[in-house]
A and B are shown apart, each in its own frame.
Chain A
């Protein structure tokens, strides 16, 4: 069974949703505390949303120095899949595992709303269960989600098929090129601002988000099956 570590920081949220959704997808998911130095042989790592360390200084700036992040870095360096959701995306940027940064929303307000998203690539461990170009709706909930990067980085992201999700009709934060999620050059580290774990159960009227977690499990060649 695929082992999935969900890292909890002081101030994490939706960590329980991420854990549950990973389990529903067929993974053996468990929590790892930010002070832990051991990911307990995780096959994949999820950094959930929230406001780790109160977002002091900058969102993710302090969390990246948590003891667990050295283990996450080592896991990523070995090609292990890492997914950062919302605050987790901010932490991955601050830690240098993903390029660019997430700045204050252009309208200065915290946005909490569903947004329509296009899956720009199915070539990542977290989107392989989607069709390329698939459209789904998931909530965003953040104050600092405006993705920015240098022109060189933006060009590389677009040319190398590393934009993972893009806002479709509403750009809720002023993100450059409507970017809602990206992958690193090796494609194993992915950061996304929307919260798929919040729309992962039919009882919520939308279970599309579960595909992010099914992608992760399917890739490991474990229970979900599917052709790829």
Chain B
């Protein structure tokens, strides 16, 4: 058994309007940062897993995303798994 820390990034799908990203983009422009574009706002989640190996940890993390952490209709996700210690 190994301990793995998992970082999940969930982002609104590119084709869909992201009003939060637009609002942040406007605010960044208002602050005077030039040439800011393509701002998108998503979610980051972290969790730890105890699994026999890294592949199993990654499989489970992806399954969690597909079934709960991300909405397959509107969001895309990436998973990164690191061994702890």
List A residues at the B interface (Cβ < 8 Å): 57-58, 61, 65, 93-94, 99-101, 103-108, 146, 148-150, 174
Contacts and interface: CB of A to CB of B under 8 A. Distances in A.
Nearest to B72: A101
Interface string B1-36: 000000000001000110110010000000000000
Contact of B73 (A104, A105, A106, A150): A150
Contacts of B81: none
Please name the 6 residue pairs, one residue from A and one from B, whose CB atoms are nearest each other, closest first: A101-B73, A101-B74, A108-B19, A106-B19, A101-B71, A103-B74
Contacts of B79: none
Contacts of A100: 73
Given A108-B23, A148-B74, A103 B16 contact: yes
B64 to A, nearest CB: 12
A1 B73 CA distance: 39
A73 to B, nearest CB: 15
Contacts of A174: 17, 19
Nearest to A94: B71
Contacts, number: 34
Residue of B23, B68, B73 with most chain A CB atoms under a 10 A cut-off: B73
A21 B69 CA distance: 36
Interface of B is mostly: mixed
Contacts of B12: 103
Contact of B16 (A58, A93, A108, A148): A148
Nearest to A58: B71
Contacts of A150: 73
A148 B73 contact: yes
B79 to A, nearest CB: 16
Residue of B16, B19, B23, B69 with most chain A CB atoms under a 10 A cut-off: B19
A193 B56 CA distance: 40
A105 B23 CA distance: 12
B63 to A, nearest CB: 15
Nearest to A106: B19
Contacts of A65: 68
Contacts of A99: 73
29 contacts: A57-B68, A57-B69, A58-B71, A61-B68, A65-B68, A93-B73, A94-B71, A99-B73, A100-B73, A101-B71, A101-B73, A103-B12, A103-B17, A103-B74, A104-B19, A104-B20, A105-B19, A106-B17, A106-B19, A107-B19, A108-B19, A108-B20, A146-B17, A148-B16, A148-B73, A149-B73, A150-B73, A174-B17, A174-B19
